[in-house]
Amino acid sequence: MRAKSEGRAATDKKRFAHEAESAASGAVVGAVVGAAGGPPGVVAGAIVGGLAGGVVGAALDDEARRRAARTRELDAEIGVSEGELGAPNLAHPPARVGAYSAASTGAVTGPDSAPAEGPIDAPEE
Query: Which tens digit of pLDDT belongs to each residue from 4-48?
Result: 666 677 778 888 888 899 999 999 999 999 999 899 999 999 999
Can you give the residue ranges of every domain in the chain? 11-78
The contacts of residue 25 (CB under 8 Å, 6+ apart) are 53
pLDDT in tens, 55-85: 999 999 999 999 999 998 888 888 777 766 6
3-state class (DSSP) for residue 120? coil
3-state class (DSSP) for residue 47? helix
* pLDDT at residue number 121: 77
pTM for the structure as a whole: 0.54
* pLDDT at residue number 45: 93
How far apart CA 18 and CA 6 sit, in angstroms, is 19
Longest dimension (CA), the chain: 86
